[in-house]
């Protein structure tokens, strides 16, 4: 069977599974549509949350980020998992107790202000739409590479599948497809990693293999990797970072952003009890950790594999790296996977010194003495996970599995985001703000139409991605972290927080974060409109615009606190509302099931 | 009613104390051991590198899982103790 047929079989089988679930899990009421009926088991919800949270970026890009950045990019690992501590302890159980359907529901009621509700809806939509663009393009890349269709056809196909289970099943359909998608993606991620760890270190568990001995050379794998990359002028893989303030703030920004992203928060509305919301956060993280503990191993091993593919003599070396560096492989003798990825343009080669060999090194280092006239190879970080099975010579079915896994990761996150967007429109905007008298049936129809509309918008944006798509994902975290997270937390933990304080805080946090980001990355990310060059010398205290979400959150807290102290306390019924979300007793009554 | 109120207030205080403890442990590991104190831990070798690197890439994730389950377990006990569970 050809590789194409195998890929088609795996992807087709996974799609048949998702469609089967869509037919089985149809939403009968708005409660089914928004919160899957509110009766999802905490472990099931944990698995769905893991798939909801782990996007194309986690599945495809993260190992590549770790491979290229080494220790410095540990921020992504810590940030994207640490946020669940905040969720589990500061938000999820109380918002579950509140017992309504959406995030703006809580903000609007607790802050008793139309402005706050509207700002929350706006933040939610901007954060979710920017995020969903990346999922659609990610699915498009996976389709075009593995199914040999154009990226455009791939995106339409992805949209059609999501349409089938999200429009008819709502949160109910999404929950159970996410569980299936989690299983597909974790199996797909783990199998190649196990093979590679075993090949390189003899230890089949990737997270342990990473810290054990590299079989071929007899030195620890990470030490080996440090030696290899430094012989080629790259920074040591495990090298420490100088700008610790920025590293701390970037990690913190990812954490508060994670906690403030609505599509993750609403997953916790689907469990029956407050205590289930607490357990569920723990289970979600267990399922996420299965991938996140494997990713650093995949990153380091893929980097080493790539280096020793180009410089075969380096693999068994323990000291003569200089000599080994003189003998990279001939371009003519490059392996098969190298050729397939060259066709996609994600690997490129130019023979700068006309010797027919591949000199792959850090351009910033001058190696004229070695006869090198510039780095000759560029490898896109995103291909490492996708090319892993081919690099390790694994059988064709593993490649088919990776294709299905990458698409599952993109679709599961896209569906969660689309639900957050459509419920903000049908529930918060139409039902709560515009037409409170709308019937249950009418709201259901509105929810389905807004879901279809959101899918069309996401498809359009996926087909015509704005040039700044990559940067806007960071913006999604900045917005969620600096505006939504603080107001949610204060709404629960400060009884004294009133509407003037919360609104002032939200706007201050949001505006400061946007201004700081636009100053360096251009107004609305339009290239050339940035007021200062985006270099560390210009950054305030060395804080990168991507790390500013945490500062925005602090500004939000400070302003909200100050303003609320000098204005009147919230009315009694709001204080009673805060009391009621703090105690689990009576959560069953809020959502019947 | 007064009893109910002071009972509830005590429950909330216990919850906030527990959260403080967990968040402090979380910050110590994620920001302390993995980032700020890494130079201090440089002397402790772990599989070809140092302990700080391990914390950044694996230790902090494992700690976070333990903390969330610990918190859920303690809170469920508090719910029962104060009679405020579901």
- CB contact under 8 Å between A88 and B58, yes or no, is no
- CB contact under 8 Å between A77 and B61, yes or no, is yes
A300 burial via Cβ count (<10 Å: 0-12, 13-18, 19+): buried
Cβ neighbours, 10 Å, residue B12: 17
Give DSSP secondary structure letters for A523-561: GGG-TT--SS-SSTTTSGGG--GGGHHHHHHHHHHHHHH
Q: What is the CA radius of gyration of chain B?
A: 18
- Sort out which chain A residues have CB atoms less than 8 A from B30's CB and list them: 78, 82, 251
CA–CA gap between residue A202 and residue A195 (Å, rounded):
9
Q: What are the distances in angstroms from CA A275 to CA A89, A94, A272, A306, A395?
A: 11, 10, 9, 47, 44
CB-based contacts of A304: which residues, under 8 Å, 6+ apart? A200, A214, A221, A224, A225, A228
- CB contact under 8 Å between A285 and B86, yes or no, is no
A382 φ, ψ (degrees, to nearest 5): -70, -15
- CB contact under 8 Å between B47 and A238, yes or no, is no
- Sort out which chain B residues have CB atoms less than 8 A from A304's CB and list them: none
- CB contact under 8 Å between A275 and B75, yes or no, is yes
CA–CA gap between residue A257 and residue A513 (Å, rounded):
12
Judged by a CB distance cut-off of 8 A, whether residue A271 touches chain B is: no
ipTM, two decimals = 0.94
- CB contact under 8 Å between A82 and B60, yes or no, is yes
Q: What are the distances in angstroms from CA B29 to CA A330, A499, B40, B41, B55?
A: 46, 36, 13, 12, 7
| A225, A315 Cβ separation under 8 angstroms | no
What pLDDT does residue B57 have?
A: 95
Query: Which A-chain residues 241-260 have CB contacts (< 8 A) with chain B?
Result: 241, 244, 247-248, 251-252
Residues of B with CB under 8 A from a CB of A: 8, 11-12, 15-16, 19, 22-23, 26, 30-31, 34-36, 38-39, 46-50, 52-54, 56-58, 60-62, 64-65, 67-69, 71-72, 75-76, 79, 83-86
So where are chain B's domains?
2-81
What pLDDT does residue B55 have?
A: 95
Which has the closest alpha carbon to A111: A499, A524, A573, A510?
A499
- CB contact under 8 Å between A585 and B36, yes or no, is no
Which has the closest alpha carbon to A136: A381, A456, A404?
A456
CA–CA gap between residue A455 and residue A473 (Å, rounded):
18
Instruction: List per-residue pLDDT tens for chain A, 593 residues long.
Output: 788 899 889 999 999 999 898 888 888 899 999 999 999 999 999 999 999 999 888 888 889 999 999 999 999 999 999 999 999 999 999 999 998 899 999 999 999 999 999 999 999 998 898 888 888 887 877 787 788 777 788 888 888 988 888 888 899 999 999 999 999 999 999 999 999 999 999 999 999 999 999 999 999 999 999 999 999 999 999 999 989 999 999 999 999 999 999 999 999 999 999 999 999 999 999 999 999 999 999 999 999 999 999 999 998 888 888 888 888 999 999 998 888 888 878 899 999 888 999 999 998 888 888 889 889 999 988 888 888 888 878 888 888 898 899 889 999 999 999 999 999 999 999 998 899 999 999 999 999 999 999 999 989 988 887 665 566 677 788 889 999 999 999 999 999 999 999 999 999 999 999 999 889 888 877 778 888 888 888 888 889 988 999 999 999 999 999 999 999 999 999 999 999 999 998 765 444 33
Quick check: B1 pLDDT over 70?
Answer: no
Closest residue in B to A588 (Cα) is B86
Q: Which domains, ranges and CATH numbers included, belong to chain A?
A: 3-301+394-434+442-590 (1.20.1730.10)
Q: Choose, out of A80, A238, A578, the residue to mutate when testing the contact with B (most B CBs < 10 Å).
A: A238
Helices (H) and strands (E) in chain A, counts: 27, 2
CA–CA gap between residue A477 and residue A495 (Å, rounded):
27
- CB contact under 8 Å between A82 and B65, yes or no, is no
- CB contact under 8 Å between B49 and A222, yes or no, is yes
A188: Cα within 13 Å, side-chain hemisphere: 28
CA–CA gap between residue A20 and residue A26 (Å, rounded):
11
Residue with tokens 């030195």: A219
The per-residue pLDDT of chain B, averaged, comes to 92
- CB contact under 8 Å between B58 and A296, yes or no, is yes
**Antiparallel, parallel or unpaired: β B49-50 and B45-46:** antiparallel
CA–CA gap between residue B60 and residue A82 (Å, rounded):
8
| Angle, in degrees to the nearest 10, between helices A42-53 and A396-423 | 100
pLDDT in tens, A338-391: 888 888 788 999 998 889 999 999 988 888 888 898 899 999 888 888 888 888
- CB contact under 8 Å between B53 and A281, yes or no, is no
What pLDDT does residue A289 have?
A: 96
Q: Which residue has the higher pLDDT, A461 or B65?
A: B65
Task: State the alpha helices, DSSP H only, in chain B.
Answer: 2-27, 51-54, 60-81
Which has the closest alpha carbon to A222: B60, B47, B42?
B47
List the single residue in B11, B64, B86 with the smallest CB-CB distance to A82: B64
- In the DSSP assignment, the letter for residue A313 is G
- Sort out which chain A residues have CB atoms less than 8 A from B67's CB and list them: 85
Residue with tokens 């000759």: A376
Cβ neighbours, 10 Å, residue A523: 14
Closest residue in A to B25 (Cα) is A85
- CB contact under 8 Å between A584 and B12, yes or no, is no
Q: What are the distances in angstroms from CA A101 to CA A213, A589, B85?
A: 51, 14, 22
A521: Cα within 13 Å, side-chain hemisphere: 21
Quick check: B2 pLDDT over 60?
Answer: no
Residues present in chain B in total = 86
Closest residue in B to A582 (Cα) is B12
- Please state whether A29 falls in left (phi above 0), alpha (psi between -120 and 50) or beta: beta
């Amino acid at each position: 069977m050809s590789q194409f047929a195998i890929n088609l079989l795996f992807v087709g089988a996974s799609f048949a599974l998702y469609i089967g679930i869509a037919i089985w899990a149809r939403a009968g009421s708005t409660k089914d549509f928004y919160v899957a009926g509110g009766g999802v088991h905490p472990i099931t919800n944990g698995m769905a949350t893991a798939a909801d949270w782990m996007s194309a970026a986690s599945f495809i890009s993260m190992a590549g980020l770790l491979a290229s950045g080494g220790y410095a990019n540990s921020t992504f690992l810590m940030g994207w998992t640490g946020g669940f501590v905040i969720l589990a302890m500061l938000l999820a159980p109380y918002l579950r107790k509140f017992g309504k359907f959406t995030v703006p529901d809580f903000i609007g009621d607790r802050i008793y202000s139309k402005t706050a509700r509207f700002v929350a809806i706006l933040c939610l939509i901007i954060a979710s739409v920017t995020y969903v663009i990346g999922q659609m393009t990610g699915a498009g890349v996976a389709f075009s590479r593995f199914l040999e269709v154009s990226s455009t056809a791939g995106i339409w196909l992805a949209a059609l599948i999501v349409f089938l289970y999200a429009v008819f099943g709502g949160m109910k359909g999404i929950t159970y497809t996410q569980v299936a998608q989690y299983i597909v993606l974790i199996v797909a991620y783990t199998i190649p990693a196990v093979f590679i760890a075993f090949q390189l270190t003899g230890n089949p568990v990737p997270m342990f293999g990473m810290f054990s001995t590299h079989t071929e050379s007899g030195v620890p794998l990470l030490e080996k990797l440090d030696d290899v990359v430094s012989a080629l002028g790259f920074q040591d893989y495990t090298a420490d970072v100088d700008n610790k303030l920025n590293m701390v703030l970037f990690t913190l920004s990812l954490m508060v952003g994670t906690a403030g992203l609505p599509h993750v928060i609403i997953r916790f509305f689907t469990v029956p009890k407050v205590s289930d919301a607490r357990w569920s956060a723990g289970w979600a993280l267990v399922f996420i950790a299965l991938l996140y503990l494997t990713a650093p191993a995949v990153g380091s091993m893929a980097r080493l594999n790539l280096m020793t593919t180009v410089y075969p003599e380096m693999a068994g070396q323990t000291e003569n790296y200089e000599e080994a560096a003189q003998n990279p492989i001939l371009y003519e003798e490059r392996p098969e996977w190298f050729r397939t990825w060259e066709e996609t343009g994600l690997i490129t080669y130019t023979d700068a010194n006309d010797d027919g060999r591949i000199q792959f090194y850090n351009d910033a280092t001058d190696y004229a003495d070695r006869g090198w006239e510039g780095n000759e190879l560029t490898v896109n970080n995103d291909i490492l996970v996708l090319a892993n099975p081919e690099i390790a010579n694994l059988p064709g079915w593993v490649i088919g599995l990776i294709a299905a896994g990458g698409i599952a990761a993109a679709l599961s996150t896209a569906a969660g985001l689309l639900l957050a967007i459509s419920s903000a429109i049908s529930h918060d905007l139409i039902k709560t703000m515009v037409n409170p008298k709308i019937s249950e049936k009418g709201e259901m129809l509105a929810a389905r139409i807004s879901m279809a509309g959101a899918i069309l918008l996401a498809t359009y944006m996926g087909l015509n991605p704005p040039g700044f798509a990559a940067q806007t994902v960071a913006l999604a975290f900045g917005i969620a972290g600096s505006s939504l997270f603080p107001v949610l937390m204060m709404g629960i933990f400060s009884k004294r927080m009133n509407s003037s304080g919360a609104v002032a805080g939200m706007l201050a946090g949001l505006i400061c974060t946007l201004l700081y980001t636009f100053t360096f990355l251009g107004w609305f990310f339009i290239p050339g409109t940035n007021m200062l060059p985006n270099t560390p010398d210009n950054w305030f205290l060395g804080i990168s615009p991507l790390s500013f979400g945490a500062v925005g959150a602090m500004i939000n807290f400070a302003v909200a606190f100050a303003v609320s102290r000098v204005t009147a306390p919230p009315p009694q019924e709001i204080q009673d509302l805060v009391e009621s979300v703090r105690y689990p007793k009576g959560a069953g009554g809020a959502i019947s099931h | 009613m007064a009893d109910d109120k002071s009972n509830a207030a005590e429950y909330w205080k216990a919850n906030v104390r527990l959260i403080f403890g967990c968040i402090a442990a979380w910050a110590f590991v994620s920001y302390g051991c993995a980032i700020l104190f890494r130079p201090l831990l440089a002397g402790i070798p772990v599989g070809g590198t140092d302990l700080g690197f391990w914390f950044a890439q694996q230790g902090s994730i494992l700690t976070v899982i333990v903390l969330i389950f610990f918190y859920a377990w303690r809170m469920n006990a508090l719910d029962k103790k104060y009679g405020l569970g579901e």
